Amino acid sequence: MNLKTTFENNLYTAYPLFRETSLTKRRFKQDAVNDLIDKRRKNPAYEIKQVGESFEERPIQYIKTGNGPRKILLWTQMHGDEATATMACFDILNFLEGKNDSFDEARKLILSETTLYFVPMLNPDGAHRFQRRNAQNIDINRDALHLQAPESRILKTLQQTLQPEFGFNLHDKNPRYSVGNTSKLATISFLATAYDQERNVNTVREKAIQVIAGMNRMLQNYIPNQVGRWNEDYEPRAFGDNIQKWGTTLILIESGGYVGDPEKQYIRKLNFMSILSGLYAIAENSFINEGRETYYALPENSRYIYDLLIKNVTVTQDGQTFQTDLGIDRIEVNDEDATNFFYHSKIEEYGDLSIFFGSEEFDATGYTLEKGKTLPVSYQEINELDKLDPWALLKEGYTFIKMEPDASTSGISATELPLQILRNKPEPVSPPTFEDTATFILTKNGEVKFAVVNGFVYDLSAEKPVFYNGIVE
């Protein structure tokens, strides 16, 4: 086992020692990042510099560490709702600050051979709203040419003035992407961005391919067959493609989905390991021994996975009976201050889904999909529902509760009840279909066996669960 492999294996087990404990969820504001930067200001290992301001005049800073000849620029949250790597970068800084342990030689190598520039939140205005775009509603990653956003101008200026040899462009992606046309979620995806329409490989891009090959080999030990390759098509407006063209070897990392990890804390750990693995390979120049085969063998991302796939359910419509499949996705919706979220689940596809998969699957052969009943009482206040026994209602086939319309509220919100609350939405007159909210019952021989409320399945013969995902519409 070589030194790099030993280093990577040790990272996996030692990670809790370096995990930044102040960041535990993806939705955090720039204040949390600024606090972590400020506590390092007096540390001589760092140079901290404000490099500009966002559209709403929030400061954008970099953290510089190391004194080696190879400059590396790493930036996160160019899309404000893509925070996994931001957390991982502070884990990495904690690692680099460590001492008197088995990683001392690795730290010395990285810090003596590279100079690292971390921009831990390029789009603080978007992060404040936990949205992809900036406050101008511009997608920064499609603004490398016109530079209409101040955040875009900051990134280009950094690349042009620092002239880093390597860049790490750190993102999140839709957590439902699959590895090719398989049932495996693409937990991490890589891309050595193209710099021209022909997707040629010059020496600059070749180095990205080689570094990715090593990071992939390490990840396969922990998420086998869950590493993908992002689409290689050239995007002339994108920063990754242009930075590669401008002479910086650009490595794109996309954090996807992992079952049971809604806050991406395990994926954060994988980012920590991947980036450090890449930095180590650059520092010791071992990436030059990698070929292209591993990179091009990675399957491209596809969309073959739904959050919930219901197969072979019987539906009656207009007097006709047929079988169909339902692909249901649980879409995250920010709460009012974008510090938490709830799910709004919709039927995203309807029909023959035999080539698709679900992170959760339910074979509904022999079951009939029916509209749940609506309780024939209308309530004024949400707290009036506290007296209800929702589990008993579900067993009787009730999935909907009516409330008096409230003109002061709009949109959707969450409820801890396993029910769909109809406040400003009319009572449905038929079972749900394509693009409807995924609330219905499954019956067999006229008996209610399962309830699906807002895309979550409740087995009515089982013990009452402790966690619900209802919705108010």
Higher-pLDDT residue of 4 and 339 is 339
Which pLDDT band, with edges at 50, 70 and 90, does 380 fall under? confident
DSSP 3-state of 57: coil
Which pLDDT band, with edges at 50, 70 and 90, does 16 fall under? very high
Does residue 1 surpass a pLDDT of 70? no
Query: What is the DSSP annotation of 184-229?
Result: SB--EEEEE--SSTT----HHHHHHHHHHHHHHHHHTTTSTT-EEE
Tens digits of residue pLDDT in 125-137:
999 999 999 999 9
Does residue 155 surpass a pLDDT of 70? yes
Type of residue at 227: V
Nearest alpha-carbon partner for 313 in 362, 372, 373: 362
Tens digits of residue pLDDT in 269-289:
999 999 999 999 999 999 999
DSSP 3-state of 233: coil
- Binning the chain into helix, strand and coil, the percentages to the nearest 5 are 30, 30, 40
Tokens representing 307?
């959050």
Rounded-to-integer distance, Cα 210 and Cα 142, Å: 26
Rounded-to-integer distance, Cα 187 and Cα 174, Å: 10
The secondary structure element, H or E, covering residue 392 is helix 390-395
Share of the chain above pLDDT 70, in %: 100
Does residue 196 surpass a pLDDT of 80? yes
Domains of the chain: 3-302 (3.40.630.10), 306-472 (2.30.40.10)
Determine how β-strand 114-119 pairs with β-strand 59-65. Answer: antiparallel
Nearest alpha-carbon partner for 307 in 349, 365, 269: 349
What lies within 8 Å, CB to CB, of 441 at 6+ separation is: 369, 370, 371, 372, 397, 399, 448, 450, 451, 452
Does residue 452 surpass a pLDDT of 90? yes
Cα→Cα distances 24→63, 66, 84, 156, 293, Å: 21, 27, 10, 31, 37
Averaged pLDDT of the chain: 96
From first CA to last CA, the distance across the chain in angstroms is: 57
Does residue 427 surpass a pLDDT of 70? yes
Rounded-to-integer distance, Cα 305 and Cα 176, Å: 6
Rounded-to-integer distance, Cα 43 and Cα 116, Å: 15
Distance of CA 336 to the CA centre of its chain: 20
Does residue 355 surpass a pLDDT of 80? yes
CA gyration radius, the chain:
25
Given strand 470-472, what is the order of strands in its sheet?
Answer: 373-379, 398-403, 420-422, 470-472, 413-415
Nearest alpha-carbon partner for 184 in 209, 232, 220, 208: 220
Tens digits of residue pLDDT in 90-122:
999 999 999 999 999 999 999 999 999 999 999
pLDDT recorded at residue 184: 98
